[in-house]
A = this chain, B = another copy of it.
């Protein structure tokens, strides 16, 4: 019986968050360990289903995991590298799309359905969801001059039409979205999953954008910082304390907030139920950017 009391207290702690987020949309970028380890996969799926039953509208955008590289390898595709970046040619893009949309997406669709959710897998192509244009990576060459690098069929989102998402949400479906979009000219483009999630969150004026990562959050001097704003982030980038792969993640968060998202979170996908912990508990988890 004391155990039951504790259970109920835990449920009750969630009450103010339920009230706050009821009917709101939360966009979650799903990837990393949480997409590989069985128990983390199960706990993630349970989190999404519970959020939906609690009247919150989750939207999942996923990355590709190691499966893309594996198929590229099996097919002995010759990928060209420019300045350390792989160029996505047509053959590679075809593999990327097949794996993302035809394999990984449907695995997530089934994973969450098994836990009781009604999921629908989409790519940015469906329902005109996401329009993109070719992304030219800009950098300074050795002489300090700005150059732009053509990485092939890599895109950045230029517009999102959320009608299809609203249609599905209104009937209780949870959209699971693979980060592939199409250009005005009909080219299939590979999109970074974090920025895809951010763009969709902005288009939906989401209450939260949550990026699942394989780190505890934003670490400064090796310590987790639980709350940051644009000014602080700019400073940490200049000082080099935010660096490497974390830079695009924090920039994606700042873009989403600039685009109308209330809060962005970088959380540890290696912790079971990290999404629910973030949404429903007092302490939360990871780093909040607002």
Which residue of chain B has its CB nearest to the CB of A272?
B5
Interface residues on A, range: 35 or more
Closest CB in chain B relative to A67 CB, distance in Å: 10
| CB-CB contacts below 8 Å: A18-68 with B | 18-19, 22, 46-47, 49-50, 53-55
- Contact status A98-B102, CB under 8 Å: yes
Query: Given the complex of chains A and B, what is the CA–CA distance between A40 and B276 in angstroms?
Result: 28
Interface with B: A120-128, A140-148, A191-199, A200-208, which one?
A: A120-128
19 A–B contacts, CB within 8 A, in A order: A8-B273, A11-B50, A11-B276, A12-B46, A12-B273, A15-B49, A15-B50, A53-B55, A75-B75, A97-B103, A106-B123, A106-B125, A109-B126, A110-B125, A119-B127, A120-B126, A120-B164, A121-B126, A167-B170
- Contact status A10-B7, CB under 8 Å: yes
Which residue of chain B has its CB nearest to the CB of A168?
B167
* A interface residues (Cβ-Cβ under 8 A, vs B): 1, 4-16, 18-19, 22, 46-47, 49-50, 53-55, 74-75, 94, 97-103, 105-106, 109-110, 113-114, 116, 118-123, 125-128, 163-164, 167-168, 170-171, 173, 180, 182, 186, 188, 271-273, 276-277, 280-281, 283, 285
Closest CB in chain B relative to A66 CB, distance in Å: 15
- Contact status B94-A103, CB under 8 Å: yes
Most B Cβ at <10 Å: residue of A109, A126, A285: A126
Residues of B within 8 A of A281 (CB): 4, 7-8
Question: Known: A106-B125, A186-B110. Contact between A50 and B7, CB under 8 A?
Answer: no
